[in-house]
Amino acid sequence: MEEDESTRLKLVPAVERASIILDLVASSKRYPTISDLARETALPKSTVHGLCTTLTHLGLLIRRPDQTFVLGPHLLKWSNAFERQTDVAAEFAALWDQSDSFQDAVVSLCILDEMDVVFIALRQRSPLERFMVRPGMRLPAAFCAAGKAIIARWSDHDIVRAFKSFPQSLTERSVGDVEELLDEVKAVRATGVAIEIGQCQRGVTNFGAAVVNSLNRTVAAVLISRDSEELGSTATERGCADARDLARRLSLRLGAEAAD
């Protein structure tokens, strides 16, 4: 007889309560007191006091002179270790292995190097003849959907400064200057997905979405590439949704908070 999940999963109450308190302190708009935390957790003040005393002793909380609490420095040690131990390319590969989607697309993971997008990993179930991607390939960020997705998280001022010298067009559809790029960036900010049609390679449509880590810093972008001739309005919507969802899931694996 199989055990249900509630039987298999036995949480240690004290650890669970400590985790809840740390989450409350992290999300609070003002420094909470013992009374605040007791009210939020519906726990006795004596229980909350004991938990906070232990967390303070361990460096996970700091008790301020006015008896309120902030997060402690030991959490930074954990955060730094998490960053060191998390490999975005490995997480990308793990997500691919768990998915049976993208039958008709090339899916790539890209990072920004100066003003170029560099492909660091890719997966494909069937090759896209028009767009032969390989690890280490570089494309100008101004034209590639992955690059647009990354720089859309910059300010307009930083984008203008970065593109004082604009790259030479790759196709007749490549954006021609920074003003055109800024127009596209506005659309990316509104939807969370960059759509680029034939700007890097004629006949190829790319969908890009930014990947962020636990500090909400952009670390990469996913790129989904499909043959433009096979795309209708429904397929375009699917491409946007796929890019957005893949970037979200990869970001969660890197410690980013789930969107509301």
Query: pLDDT 10s digit of each residue in the chain, 260 long?
Result: 344 444 456 789 999 999 999 999 998 889 999 999 999 999 999 999 999 999 999 999 999 999 999 999 988 788 766 655 558 888 888 888 777 777 678 899 999 988 999 998 888 877 777 788 888 899 999 999 999 999 999 999 999 999 999 999 999 999 999 999 999 999 999 999 999 999 999 999 999 999 998 888 999 999 999 888 877 767 888 889 999 999 999 999 888 887 64
**CA-to-CA distance for 237 and 207, rounded, in angstroms?**
10
Domains detected in the chain? 5-81 (1.10.10.10), 86-253 (3.30.450.40)
- Radius of gyration over alpha carbons of the chain, in Å? 23
Residue 250 C-beta-side C-alpha neighbours within 13 Å: 32
Q: Which residues pair with 140 in a beta bridge?
A: 116
Contacts of 176 (CB under 8 A, 6+ apart): 166, 169
Q: Which two tokens stand for residue 218?
A: 């952009």
Tokens 């970001």 belong to which residue?
251
Where are the extended beta strands (E) located within the chain? 61-63, 69-71, 106-113, 116-124, 138-140, 194-197, 204-212, 218-227
Reduced to 3 states (helix: H, G, I; strand: E, B; else coil), residue 211 is strand
Of 88, 244, 219, nearest in space to 153 by CA: 219
Cα 41 to the chain's mean position, in Å? 30
Of 241, 222, 240, nearest in space to 106 by CA: 222
Is residue 25 within 8 Å of residue 70, measured between CB atoms? yes
Amino acid at 109: L
Is residue 226 within 8 Å of residue 204, measured between CB atoms? yes
- Does this model's pTM top 0.95? My answer is no
Q: Which helix (H) or strand (E) holds 224?
A: strand 218-227
**CA-to-CA distance for 144 and 117, rounded, in angstroms?**
7
Residue 12 C-beta-side C-alpha neighbours within 13 Å: 4
What is the reported pLDDT for 158?
A: 95
Tokens 């700007």 belong to which residue?
199
What is the reported pLDDT for 84?
A: 59
What is the reported pLDDT for 259?
A: 63
Local structure of residue 22 (DSSP, 8 states): H
**CA-to-CA distance for 119 and 139, rounded, in angstroms?**
9
